[in-house]
Amino acid sequence: FKRLQTWLNNRAFVAAHGCQSPPRFSRFQNILQQIKAIKSHSWLDMWVERYATIAKTFESATVSINPIIFTIDPENIKAILATDFDKFELGDRRRKLMYPVTGPGIFSNDGTAWRHSRALIRPNFTKMLISDLSTFETHFQHLLTALPPADLHSGFIEVDLMPLFFRMTLDSASETLLGPTMAFRSQLDPPGSASLRFMEAFDYVQKKIHRRNILDRGYMKPFGLIYGLWRATKKDEFEEACTTVHSILDNMILEFLRRPVKVLDESRKYVFLEEMARNTRDPIELKSEVLNVLMAGRDTTAALLTNTFFMLARRPDLWARIHTETEESFGGKTPDYETLRNMKQVRNLLSESLRLYPPVPFNARTATENITLPRGGGTDGQSPIFVKKGQQVNYHVYCLHRSPDIFGPDADVFRPDRWDDAGLRPGWGYIPFNGGARICLGQQFALTKASYVLVRIMQEFELIENRDAEPEWKEQISLVTKSRNGAKVALKRRERKN
């Protein structure tokens, strides 16, 4: 009877709001295509194709029992993230995904708990920005130290920059979060050290997290149960990796809490943990928020750098342009924050990299009550659609950023100059850092760090060449998406006279 009543209520809601159904895509076809696309590492492009052939908004299901709404309509995305923000949440799926690794915190909480986390963390971000350029330099120097030697004949250093960027962002993020004495030194430390054990465990859980999560959903639950029983007889590497991550951080936080509270001194280097500890001394809360921010900020920035150098290695014209801008802005001088912010070519390059290769290429929210989205229903796709309480809505930023109606007929071409066009105003059509109330807190921090590293590499090296046989960018999807082939390049050092 309760089900019938809900059904009747839903019908009345649909009629009252003039909702029409969006196109449906068969579950069977959906699953088959996805398996094929995952195997060929073209899962994201498969979605681009779907939105182009089905519609900007459609409904389908995979292993979930209820259909999911998929959309790349900026009006719908705006409704989810801003206008009707309070009627959507990250939901259980995100919590199940994140909690074993990070515990509750800003990146995984909803409602009041999220508001609390955001209020605790937000004030720190402005301070983080200004004070951190010297930290970037320290870790950039470590990256230079970790480079292999140059070939004696050609003078080129052949290297995959991706692992170096991932180590550098781990080290520099940990320094900002935990302070210089407790920071990781994964670029320099030997195998078996806490830095490397933490990094390996942290990378492992992120790689496995989606696969693990899929067995906990809809029709997959029975298989998950059987798998769980089978796994119980074996060593659970995922849980072991989570334990490693937690125990290393637990020790650090406890050591930190044993120290006397420092007096506020504006001239001292900014440390996230010290600032947070002014509001809470709860070791679990401190650890969870540190892990949440690390999870949000480390891989994303490293992926942005990797993807950008993947392109630079294939585009000598862009390399030359950034080189000239760097020379004109700084010569051999260490970059400063204000000048960095005003580098047009650097800004265009990073914007274009984030457009075509967003590190967070898809995202999801769950409706907390019956609600409508403004577009996608009916034959012309212009009518509102009904989203049932508890229904999931997925939006694909990767596909949104390739929409020809927003970015023009060359939307899938890497062309940083497009950002000079005053007519290009993508609004909700460009959201690499998300939008609305949950917009990324680290956006400026990430862009400053990426610009800094870009400029410093330009200052140190005069030439870049591609050393990867694969011509096209291929996806590597884990919690953050990056170039599957890394950024295999050859770099030639510049000789400065002064």
Binding residues for ligand HEM, rule: CB under 6 A, are 106-107, 118, 293, 296-297, 300-301, 304, 359-360, 363, 432-434, 438, 440-442, 445-446
Integer angstrom CA distances of residue 48 from 55, 392, 397: 10, 20, 10
Least distance in angstroms from the C-beta of 288 to ligand HEM: 12
In the complex with ligand HEM, the residue whose CB is nearer, 117 or 187, is 117
Question: In the chain, what is the greatest distance between 2 CA atoms, to the nearest angstrom?
Answer: 84
Supply 11's token pair.
Answer: 């019908």
In the complex with ligand HEM, the residue whose CB is nearer, 316 or 426, is 426
CA angle 201, 205, 211 (to 5 degrees): 155
Selection from 407, 176, 405 nearest residue 296 by Cα: 176
State how far the Cα of 413 lies from the Cα of 310, in Å rounded to an integer: 14
Least distance in angstroms from the C-beta of 420 to ligand HEM: 21
In the complex with ligand HEM, the residue whose CB is nearer, 169 or 383, is 169
In the complex with ligand HEM, the residue whose CB is nearer, 303 or 387, is 303
Least distance in angstroms from the C-beta of 310 to ligand HEM: 15
Question: What is the number of alpha carbons within 13 Å of residue 392 lying toward its C-beta?
Answer: 21
DSSP string, 62-101: SSSSS-EEEE--HHHHHIIIIITGGGEE-HHHHHHHHHHH
Least distance in angstroms from the C-beta of 168 to ligand HEM: 13
In the complex with ligand HEM, the residue whose CB is nearer, 48 or 128, is 128
Least distance in angstroms from the C-beta of 42 to ligand HEM: 21
Residues 6+ apart with CB under 8 A from 353: 304, 307, 308, 311, 414
Is 399 annotated in a binding site? The answer is no
Least distance in angstroms from the C-beta of 256 to ligand HEM: 19
Least distance in angstroms from the C-beta of 380 to ligand HEM: 30
Least distance in angstroms from the C-beta of 399 to ligand HEM: 15
Task: Specify the DSSP element, H or E, that contains 157.
Answer: strand 156-160
In the complex with ligand HEM, the residue whose CB is nearer, 225 or 439, is 439
In the complex with ligand HEM, the residue whose CB is nearer, 22 or 442, is 442
- E strand segments, 418-496: 461-466, 475-477, 481-483, 488-493
DSSP string, 365-418: EEESS-EEEEEEESTTS-EEEEE-TT-EEEEEHHHHTT-HHHH-TTTTS--GGG
Q: Which residue has the tokens 């109330």?
A: 437
In the complex with ligand HEM, the residue whose CB is nearer, 384 or 435, is 435
Q: Which residue is nearest to ligand HEM (CB)?
A: 442
DSSP code, position 419: G
β-strand pairing of 383-387 with 371-377: antiparallel
Alpha helices in 218-357 (DSSP H): 221-232, 237-258, 272-276, 283-312, 316-330, 337-341, 344-356
Q: Binding site for heme: which residues?
A: 440
Binding residues: 440
